[in-house]
Amino acid sequence: MQSTNAPLAGHAAIVTGASSGIGLSVAEAIADAGAAVAVNYHSHAEAAEALVSRIQAKGGRALAVQADVAEEAEVVRMFDEAAAAFGRIDLLVANSGVQKDAAIAEMSLEDWNTVIGINLTGQFLCAREAVKRFRAQPEQDRPARSAGAIITMSSVHEIIPWAGHINYASAKGGVRMLTRSLAQEVAAEGIRVNAVAPGAIRTPINKEAWDSQEALEKLLRLIPYGRIGEPEDVARAVVWLASDAADYVTGTTLFVDGGMSLYPEFRDNG
């Protein structure tokens, strides 16, 4: 049985896009919960190495792994490096994401393909590799009740349309069905697959939405709970979903959004 103080003790995890924002907070929280963590990054090596050093200073196990999650060979290499370091893989948090926003008439095919490639195809490649690794690991060596857990990072925009961000919203809608379809496919093998859907979180990717008082006030009109989210809000949800406390949870999306997905414009009856 997992300890409440270290609910992920004995686990080995990969967190993609973990050198900043939500991914960084998730990787650190997973390490604090007892797991060994492979901190994936694409281009911010210093931030990833600094996180690894912080985890190690607290007595945890971590390593930084560079990989582009949209490239099949690099995803396989990332899993190979993590498995070589930790002996197994029990948890994937497929977090890598990017925005390249434009109205549809001005959106280039390159920007469409980049966002779909990282935000959706990258999640598919990582999830596929995780399933392969989970299947190959002896049942008696499992640190949890499940054979492995996959947590995809979605968004409130898996259900809320977002004009001017059609590539991002399309990718997140795809993540919703990837999560549900994969969960249906592998549940009988004891593999759990869930998504976390953040709303407005204070990260560099959306800095323009909260960096001034005027922008923040405008944003808060969309959040019934009355505050912007912090990366730690998402990280705590991920740790719970990854642990045995959520063992009967699969194929669902956990919204961490302060009520943004409740369509707050209708609070006054529309």
Distance separating alpha carbons of residues 236 and 143, to the nearest angstrom: 20
Strands lying side by side in the sheet with 191-198: 62-66, 36-41, 12-15, 91-94, 148-153, 191-198, 253-256
Catalytic residues: 168
Distance separating alpha carbons of residues 256 and 91, to the nearest angstrom: 20
The full DSSP string for 169-198 is: HHHHHHHHHHHHHHHHHHGGGTEEEEEEEE
Instruction: Indicate the SS3 state at residue 98.
Output: coil
Distance separating alpha carbons of residues 150 and 154, to the nearest angstrom: 12
Distance separating alpha carbons of residues 154 and 176, to the nearest angstrom: 7
Instruction: Indicate the SS3 state at residue 140.
Output: helix
Question: Which residue type sits at 240?
Answer: W
